[in-house]
Structure 1
Amino acid sequence: MRVLVWNEGVHEANQHPANIGEYYPEGMHGAIAAGLRKFLPDDAEVSTATLADPEHGLSAEVLENTDVVLWWGHAAHDQVDDAVVERVKEHVLGGMGLLVLHSAHFSKIFRSLLGTTCSLAWRNEGEQELVWTVKPSHPIAEGIPHPIVIPKQEMYGELFDIPDPDDLIFISSFAGGEVFRSGVTFTRGRGRIFYFSPGDQEYPVYQQTEIQQVLANGVRWAAPEPGERVLPQVSNPPRQWLL
């Protein structure tokens, strides 16, 4: 299994918020990758890439050799090259898995694949989030406590402008009374997509074991089976018509 954790890296580069280096000394992508390595098989290959890398670390060669991409974005959605977004989209439609994390609900790739604004309500007061499992039979929910308790987190709330998901796995509740569809899946073409909202640059959410396990479960679920994936083609292949 070949997994790529993609992160803007903008907050880390700017040291904003000031505590991000304390919570994520190797960057959020480093923490997410380390958590995956704890729960995925030993032979899984987990690498990272950021916005500043050539082609954002998402070249055709890289994507052809990647089974699942995890995407974290927040402050630089508009800086992601449209050609790179289209390249990632083609690979998802061909069967590559995609996990969309937290503020990446506004990423170009997620909005393009879903076809809606993906807007939501939010408030950041560092309050407790409870992540409730509402589909325990789903593979992503396997072994996950009910609920996951996140001591401090940004509030995301409804209405979440997304199409009806294939699966609603997690719903979050907050101290202010809001609820949010925090774990949902979609299928686009041959590709499986999992959106999971917990995980903000201001709080050490990606250091929580339960969150790491959810992401690892999501990777296993989204990864294509051998022979299931079709790589993008430059042009349509010729057809052999039966006469």
Structure 2
Amino acid sequence: MSQALRVTVWNENRHEQKNPKVKEVYPDGIHSAIAGFLQEAGMIAGTATLDDPEHGLTDEVLAATDVLVWWGHLAHGEVQDDIVSKVRQRVLDGMGLIVLHSGHHSKIFKVLMGTSCDLKWREADEKERLWVVAPGHPIAEGIGEYIELPQEEMYGEHFDIPVPDELVFTSWFEGGEVFRSGCAYTRGSGKVFYFRPGHETYPTYHNPAIQRVIVNAVKWARPVRRERPFYGNAKPLEQIGGK
């Protein structure tokens, strides 16, 4: 029997404190809502927030995390650089990372992508249709041809990211824009998935199809159990030149 996946859901948890509408949609915080459906899927899911000591991402927490889920927006600049460096190294060593919605501007996503990760945006209560463009991908398991959200914030191209290793979803918005909304990458020994939906004033993370995608993404991003590759000067495995 395989060990249950250990997931940490990180959220800056600022909108919930400042905006009554967000508090109404996510009374216990976005992080608790996400951790809740991950637990229902059989995972061991804990939470961490920006104002916790070390942002809740201590060495012990990171060492015990198979996949880290990240939601941030208002306070990207408040995330300490040393914590970002630790998270980056854990990803390179094999920990999975799921970056949600406005986490595209998080320090950790930008350092792993190496670009500005900038985009167009608009808040106009418009419909979003996320088309599955990789129907055979495990992150799309159980999803139909598309997911339709009645109201979401628009993100539009050009999205300044490296070309995804795999593109799983492409969004169309009522106002006419399109967006690469499900982008999968490998960084070192770790897997990274960016998933666009999740504006804080909409009940997006209560949508069963969105929940299914995130559950699938966490399973996809789980670490491969193997020894970390050796780097640096290496002794030959065979004799060289008959010596």
TM score, norm. by length of structure 2: 0.92
Consecutive unaligned residues of structure 2, counting only runs of 5 or more, are 237-242
Instruction: Name the aligned partner's letter for residue 31 of structure 2.
Output: H
Q: CA deviation at 1:13?
A: 1.8
The aligned residue for residue 154 of structure 2 is: 155
1:53-202 aligned at under 5 Å gives the runs: 53-202=52-201
Classify the secondary structure of the residue corresponding to 2:130: strand
Match of 1:45? 44
Task: Give the Å deviation of 1:113.
Answer: 0.3
Long gaps (5+) in structure 1: 231-235
Residues 132 and 59 of structure 1, relative CA distance in 2, 3 Å threshold: same
Offset at 1:226?
2.4
Q: Paired residue for 1:2, among 2, 6, 10?
A: 6
Letter in 1 for 2:29: G
1:26 has 2:28 as partner: yes
State the shift of 1:147 in Å: 1.3
Pair 12,239 (structure 1): closer, same or farther in 2 beyond 3 Å:
same
Q: Which runs of 4+ in 1 moved over 4 A?
A: 236-240
Q: Shift in Å at residue 49 of structure 1?
A: 0.5
Alpha-carbon distance between aligned partners in 2 of 1:136 and 1:12, rounded to the nearest angstrom: 35
In the alignment, the residues of structure 1 paired with residue 197 and residue 207 of structure 2 have an alpha-carbon distance, to the nearest angstrom, of 10
For 1:78 and 1:172, the matched residues in 2 are separated by 28
Contact 1:145 1:210 in 2 (8 A): no
Native 8 Å contact 1:132 1:172 kept in 2: yes
Cα distance per residue 1:35-84 (max 9 Å; x no partner): 2223x23xx21000000100001111111110000000000000000000
Identity %: 53
Aligned to 1:13: 17
Match of 1:35 in 2: 37
Bigger Rg over Cα: 2
1:206 maps to amino acid? Y
CA shift for structure 1 position 225: 2.5
Matched with 1:233 is: none
Look up the match of 2:239.
none
For the structure 1 residues 64 and 174, does the alpha-carbon distance in structure 2 shift closer, same or farther, using more than 3 Å as the test?
A: same
Cα deviation for residue 138 of structure 1 reads: 0.2
Shift of 1:202: 1.1
Cα 1:64–1:150 shift into 2, 3 Å: same
Moved more, 93-102 or 28-37: 28-37
Question: Any conservation in 2 of the 1:96–1:229 contact (CA below 8 Å)?
Answer: no
TM-score normalized with structure 1 length: 0.92
- Name the CA shift for 1:240/1:196 in 2 (closer, same or farther; >3 Å): closer
User: Is contact 2:17–2:23 with CA below 8 Å preserved after alignment?
Assistant: no
Number of residue pairs the alignment of both structures matches: 233
Question: Superposition RMSD on alpha carbons, in Å?
Answer: 1.6
Q: Which one scores higher on RCO, CA 8 angstroms, separation ≥ 6?
A: 1
